[in-house]
Amino acid sequence: MSATSIAQQVKKVVGEAVEVKPPAHPTYDLKGVIKLALSEDAADIGDITCKATIPVDMDVEAYFLAKEDGIVAGIALANMVFGEVDTSLKVEWTRNDGDKVHKGLQFGKVHGKAHSIVVAERVVLNFMQRMSGIATLTKAMAEAAHPACILETRKTAPGLRLVDKWAVLIGGGRNHRMGLFDMVLVKDNHISITGGVTRALQSVDHYLAQNNLQMDVEIETRTLEEVREVLQYASQTKTSLTRIMLDNMVVPLSDGDVDVSMLREAVDFIGGRFETEASGNVTLETVHKIGQSGVTYISSGALTHSVKALDISLKIDTEMALEAESFSYSPF
């Protein structure tokens, strides 16, 4: 595992609820991201439409409605957004992060000042819809990939790295490295510049030793010859290598199926000496076959870079709003 350790990914049981903690990051400011999202929406002026149409002191209740089936994610983050907007808002949920929801299900509600609820609404939904979409796809991929573990990549929305990776955890996946700082991942460009996999690994081992650093090291291989070269180096030298990426060893076929024979051969050749990771041509349709090859991990950029948001809405209780308006509204 990368420095985003398994310990950070363990589900914490609180009563009957299961809380999935966000992954660790040394500099990421989640509260700052929330403030930025609210600021880009309301700036320093606020919601002009609310000010024009809704009495300031009106209280309402609004409920969360799932408009399609999926895995809900972002509930903990939604609570943070509501708290940032107005600490007096009362939020209740009948589902937890990672639970299934079905079309038509009301799974939460928020009560308080109408202005505050409407100001928070779009930011809450933007986070929840994206995170729920990621969690829904991750859940399907993770179940299909078993016994291999599904990973995302760094192909996340700029500024939302931690949020996207949190959603993967909620969906039942594992996190790959958080960024460039917490794991050495020697990819094709590094290999080309240094002059091959052996020289690249030599450089990494030397750098880590010189700087007294201990962290996971992964190297990308694109052919069986490169796999053999990596294993030969590791057999002759003390190395920090922990994982071998088997890139594009899943070959797509004209009928939509995939050929995983080269992947199986690589896994067999490595023989458990290192963790293995399959990458390339990973889809919901192909991931099961890849998972049966014996690889430890399967990484998929599609989990975060091609996410389809889960359709969720926040609906104000109209009867309650009209009743409150009849007592408080004045055009003057």
**DSSP structure string for 20-66:** EPPPP-SS--HHHHHHHHHHHHHTTT--HHHHHHS-TT-EEEEEEEE
- Compute the distance between CA of residue 13 and CA of residue 20 in angstroms, rounded to an integer: 9
Q: From the annotation, which residues make up the binding site for substrate?
A: 122, 153-155, 177, 187, 220, 247, 279-281, 300-302
Q: Which of 171, 108, 112, 184 is nearest to 142 (CA)?
A: 171
**DSSP structure string for 164-193:** HHHHHHHTT-B---SSSSSSEEE-HHHHHH
Rg of the Cα trace of the chain?
24
Q: From the annotation, which residues make up the binding site?
A: 122, 153-155, 177, 187, 220, 247, 279-281, 300-302
Q: What are the catalytic residues? A: 122, 155, 187, 218, 247
Cα angle vertex 260, ends 301, 271, to 5°?
95
Q: Quick one: angle between helices 114-145 and 75-85, nearest 10?
A: 160
In contact, 128 and 105? CB cutoff 8 Å? no
Q: Which of 96, 120, 157, 116 is nearest to 34 (CA)?
A: 120
CB atoms within 10 A of CB 145: 26
In contact, 244 and 114? CB cutoff 8 Å? no
Q: Write 179-183 long-range contacts (CB < 8 A, 24+).
A: 179/25, 179/154, 181/26, 182/2, 182/3, 182/4, 182/215, 183/2, 183/3, 183/215, 183/216, 183/217, 183/218
CB atoms within 10 A of CB 330: 5
